[in-house]
Structure 1
């Protein structure tokens, strides 16, 4: 099998994997990075949302070969040591999580939105396609607005 080298949360890593192995499985099974969650495997639920070179992407449908030489950031790489990212802080302040399963992907999608749009409208926030089975969408929207005010 070929080797693929890329950066995960600031650390250069190399994995031995088939070219078509979804990046989610390279992260979770080969590298032990558990933040991105498996939900559907077909780019619908977006529980695995992470960043590839600073842009939101879904590693469940992205082959590891497409990530070679690039920078992957997962929820584990968002905080700066013990200092949470403002979106993570807002999630806690707004008491967003219930079961919490989708929250890493939700947070990563929110961070990507706030990189593009400093003060998103409700419609822009609602356009985030990450699924939350607990239905905390109102609190997610409030957390994103709160984080936007801090950034």
Structure 2
């Protein structure tokens, strides 16, 4: 938790001047919480609160000149269902977070944290993405 807060503080410190000067700052997010009843038909059954990839994010896109833009994104997953005894409320974890430059002439370059190639490849067939029936949850062992 402390590492996440430090990362948020550093990211905010770096991007605040850019975002303050930017004309195009977007704040977005979603709270996708569900109460689920899980039952394996044998000895396991219980209700559970699922956060389902709830998130909060900030995007900025600033034109530097006619052919060059700087862009950035900070996105955090918000886990409303953390619920452990030592937890002190909502947990955060980093999702796609990056900064980059883009040009109509040269393309774009960005550095940061991105979805894995496996996640990008499975997205078109993951009909229950960001839900309890997500491929990650169905194939999880333990």
TM-based fold match above 0.5: no
Compare relative contact order (CA 8 Å, sep 6+) and give the higher one, 1 or 2. 1
Pick the structure with more strand per residue.
2
Q: TM-score, normalised by structure 1?
A: 0.28
Larger Rg: 2
Q: TM-score, normalised by structure 2?
A: 0.29
